[in-house]
Amino acid sequence: MFLPEIAKLGHVALVTPDLEKSLWFFRDVIGLEVTEEVDETIYLRAWGDFEHHSLSLTAGEKGYVDHIGWRTKRPEDVEGFARLLTKAGTEVKWIEAETERGQGVAIRFQLPSQHTFELYYDVEKPVVEEGRRSVLKNQTYKSWNRGVSPRRFDHVNIHTSTDASLTYEFLENQLGFKMREFLKDDDNQTIAGWMSVTPLVHDVAVLSKPQAPTPARLHHIAYWSDNMQDILRAADILKEQGINFIGPGKHGISQAMYLYVMDPGSGCRVELFSGGYLIFEPDWDPIEWTMEERSVGNTYWGESVQDKPENNITIEA
């Protein structure tokens, strides 16, 4: 009998107090494609994303993340995870098909950090109309249609004021994530972990933030572009729009190129991301970083989010 598995990160469901401004930012500036608008929720994806959406925008009184969605490897894995999680004492809520547009039956539950995860398998892959469709049969939309135009959804970074070690254990033991790189404090406690279910360095990063105003926070979502030149081009586009940003720079952890920018509608931070490395080794030893090495790990070179306290604001998740 196979244990259930997660295949990949799917989407983030974002609530925004200014839907019009968030739509402008993600569609016209970042360059995501709108797949559908249903019941005041707008679904978007990057030109290289294949699922119905990698981001949804819904109007609300404040900016927050409703849930983070992950696609399983097999249809039966949704029920398999439901059984395992319930047996381990986690409350599981079943979500009927099409409750979220373009998606089949799903389950939702909370991590020890109180972030809400959703697991599903069945998804719609909408046919793109001819005017927006790429001539490449292995690509969804025409590339570079507008704005920054990242290729695909890459990862999420979440913060918690709870004991982060419980969430690392939950992700590893209940959901099958692997620790790839981690940071320990001077008391030998892991306070940041980069974890994945794919060869990516991280599909999710979890950081301990005892001072956070609520237990579950979102630091950023990330969209991936092909190369560093794309990130430099993004900086020009943002500057032309009068939008402030952090970077470009390079992380030591993940070795990726980055730029950070805030959605002015919701307060959601977006990382525009490129480079990095992939992990194919089955016996990968997680990379440990110490507090003395933290500056290199966070910012190998370039401007750092850590240097700008006003940019460390996170939204509720």
178-217 pLDDT tens trace: 999 999 999 999 999 999 999 999 999 999 999 999 999 9
CATH assignment of 6-120? 3.10.180.10
Predicted model pTM: 0.96
Give the pLDDT confidence score for residue 279 in this predicted structure.
Answer: 97
Pairing type for strands 33-38 and 64-72 reads: unpaired
Tokens of 51: 């699922």
Residue of 251, 271, 267 lying closest to 310 (CA atoms): 267
Give the pLDDT confidence score for residue 175 in this predicted structure.
Answer: 98
CB 198 within 8 A of CB 270: no
Task: Compute, in degrees rounded to 10, the torsion defined by CA atoms 224, 226, 228, 231.
Answer: -50
Give the pLDDT confidence score for residue 313 in this predicted structure.
Answer: 75
For the chain, the straight-line distance linking the first and the last C-alpha, in angstroms and rounded, comes to 34
Phi, psi angle pair for 216, to nearest 5°: -115, 120
Burial 23-52 (b: 16+ CB within 10 A, else e): bbbbbebbbbbebeeeeebbbbbbbbbebb
Residues in the chain predicted with pLDDT less than 50, given as ranges, are none
Give the pLDDT confidence score for residue 303 in this predicted structure.
Answer: 85
Give Dmax over CA atoms of the chain in angstroms: 58
CB 254 within 8 A of CB 181: yes
CATH assignment of 152-316? 3.10.180.10
- Whole-number Å distance between alpha carbons of 104 and 218: 25
Q: Which regions of the chain carry the CATH code 3.10.180.10?
A: 6-120, 152-316
- Listed in sequence order, the residues at least 6 apart from 147 whose beta carbon sits closer than 8 Å to its beta carbon are 27, 28, 29, 30, 31, 237
213 burial via Cβ count (<10 Å: 0-12, 13-18, 19+)? exposed
Give the pLDDT confidence score for residue 1 in this predicted structure.
Answer: 62
264 burial via Cβ count (<10 Å: 0-12, 13-18, 19+)? middle
Pairing type for strands 216-224 and 245-250 reads: unpaired
pLDDT tens per residue, range 124-183: 999 899 999 999 999 999 999 999 999 999 999 999 999 999 999 999 999 999 999 999
174: number of Cβ within 10 Å: 17
Q: Phi/psi zone of residue 312: left (φ > 0), alpha (ψ -120 to 50 degrees), beta?
A: alpha
